[in-house]
Amino acid sequence: MKRFALDIATRQFQKHGEDIAGDAFRVAQTPDSTIISVSDGLGSGVKANVLATLTVEVACGLSQGDLSLEDIVETLIATLPVCKWRSIAYSTFSVVRIYDTGRVTLAEYDCPPTLKLAGGIRPEFVETFERTVRDRNIRVAYFRMQPGDVLVQYTDGIVWAGVGQKLPMGWQEDGIFQFLSATAPALRGDCAAQANRLAEQALEYWEGAPGDDGTVVCARYRKARHAVLLTGPPSSPDRLPAMLQDFLGREGTRLVCGGTTAHLLARHLDVPLEVDDRFLDSDLPPGGKIRGMDLVTEGILTLTRAAEYLRRGIPPGRSDAATCLLDHLMDADGITFLVGTARNPAHQNTGLPESIFLRRVVAEELAAQLRERGKEVDLVFY
């Protein structure tokens, strides 16, 4: 399980009169790092968008291989078309790779300098040094992020916000720095709020009619949140102590899904198991309460419903044991399912397909849905 995670938020606007932005950004994951690429295509509109999209797609695509950031940048420089009239590349870009350990490598080509909010609060420009790659100057940085630090990347439309209108010289990097100094402490590292505040301020300087496309990307490095979900008795009673020890020995939000499972755990801990009367009126069986556990629900039906909610969406206003379970699961970055594979002979002739009572199948379906949403999920069968 990854020990650290990134929250990434972005906000974008296009030049006044254009249908799409000429900026693009992409995020890619590798087993030990996250790559964020931001690009500003020359000009605006569709042509700029195509060039910027090409740039970030190549950057993120190459990052899936074993290439270093420098290799990626060199490939980008070599492949980027150059405008014959202006003798400059058709797009500018930044590529940042943030490793799970907090180590960061950054490469910038003709784009505004990346800022770091130390502790999510105090802005500092990332110190870079110049390198020449295929006769082009790029800025490179190698540094570490601590949990709580936020990286802020932005394009020209933010730097030049209000130019010739409200601000004769535009917002400028120093103006952005001052703005972050003033606003970041109250936002407490909330990436989405920070990206919104920056973009909203830029739009205000542009008086609602931006003279350039603008993109803000904020990425917060933080400790990963884990959850461990115990469901079902093991295939053989001999394996119960090992399964419960495994569950109790793991770090994270503790979720128990199953009536028998809850009884077995409560007995093991020698604490009472009470019925949770919050959802007695729902069409799902109610859950329970065990001291020290974050949530106790019924098993098969609640897990099946949770997967269904992920597949089809939660009906508006719905609140039951499955939505409660999803609140916990969606809040976690990494989830370990400890799945007991004992079969309950009573789960026959219920009028429902027998496969839904195979706990393994139900857990795998839910795990697949969670993985699609970027969660790291491990399944351990007992």
| Residue 349 CB contacts under 8 Å (≥ 6 apart), including other chains | none
* Nearer to other proteins among residue 273 and residue 339 (C-beta): 273
Check binding of 234 to other proteins (CB under 8 A): no
CA dihedral 167, 173, 178, 182 (to 10 degrees): 100
Using the rule CB under 8 A, which residue among 112, 123, 189, 299 binds other proteins? 299
Minimum distance of other proteins from residue 49's CB (angstroms): 52
* Nearer to other proteins among residue 163 and residue 366 (C-beta): 366
Check binding of 301 to other proteins (CB under 8 A): yes
Check binding of 232 to other proteins (CB under 8 A): no
Chain centre to alpha carbon of residue 126 = 23
Minimum distance of other proteins from residue 126's CB (angstroms): 53
The conformation of residue 200, written as its DSSP 8-state character, comes to H
Chain centre to alpha carbon of residue 353 = 35
* Nearer to other proteins among residue 110 and residue 308 (C-beta): 308
Scanning 9-17, 131-139, 201-209, 339-347 for contacts with other proteins by CB under 8 A, the matching segment is: 339-347
Scanning 174-182, 239-247, 291-299, 325-333 for contacts with other proteins by CB under 8 A, the matching segment is: 291-299
Minimum distance of other proteins from residue 284's CB (angstroms): 8
Name which of residues 135 to 194 contact other proteins (CB under 8 A): none
Which residues share a beta bridge with 54?
A: none
Helices (H), the chain: 45-62, 69-79, 156-159, 172-187, 191-205, 240-249, 259-269, 300-312, 321-331, 359-372
Scanning 5-13, 49-57, 192-200, 345-353 for contacts with other proteins by CB under 8 A, the matching segment is: 345-353
* Nearer to other proteins among residue 319 and residue 350 (C-beta): 350
d(CA 51, CA 90): 7
Size of the site for other proteins (CB under 8 A): 25
Check binding of 315 to other proteins (CB under 8 A): no
Determine the 3-state secondary structure of 214 from DSSP. Answer: strand
Tokens representing 57 are 């797609």
How many CB atoms lie under 10 A from the CB of residue 4?
17
Using the rule CB under 8 A, which residue among 129, 132, 313, 346 binds other proteins? 346
- Evaluate the CA torsion angle 123, 129, 132, 137 in order and state its sign: positive
* Nearer to other proteins among residue 41 and residue 299 (C-beta): 299
Burial class (CB in 10 A: 0-12, 13-18, 19+), 291: exposed
| Nearest-5° Cα angle at 288, 287 to 292 | 130
d(CA 80, CA 106): 19
Using the rule CB under 8 A, which residue among 41, 189, 285, 340 binds other proteins? 285
* Nearer to other proteins among residue 267 and residue 311 (C-beta): 267
Minimum distance of other proteins from residue 337's CB (angstroms): 17
Check binding of 324 to other proteins (CB under 8 A): no
d(CA 39, CA 155): 8
The conformation of residue 40, written as its DSSP 8-state character, comes to E
Burial class (CB in 10 A: 0-12, 13-18, 19+), 333: buried
Name which of residues 2 to 41 contact other proteins (CB under 8 A): none
Using the rule CB under 8 A, which residue among 32, 350, 374, 378 binds other proteins? 350
Minimum distance of other proteins from residue 298's CB (angstroms): 6
Minimum distance of other proteins from residue 354's CB (angstroms): 13
Using the rule CB under 8 A, which residue among 5, 104, 228, 273 binds other proteins? 273
d(CA 356, CA 374): 25
Using CB under 8 A as the criterion, which residues of the chain lie in contact with other proteins when the complex forms? 258-260, 262-263, 273, 275, 277, 280, 284-288, 296, 298-301, 344-347, 350, 352
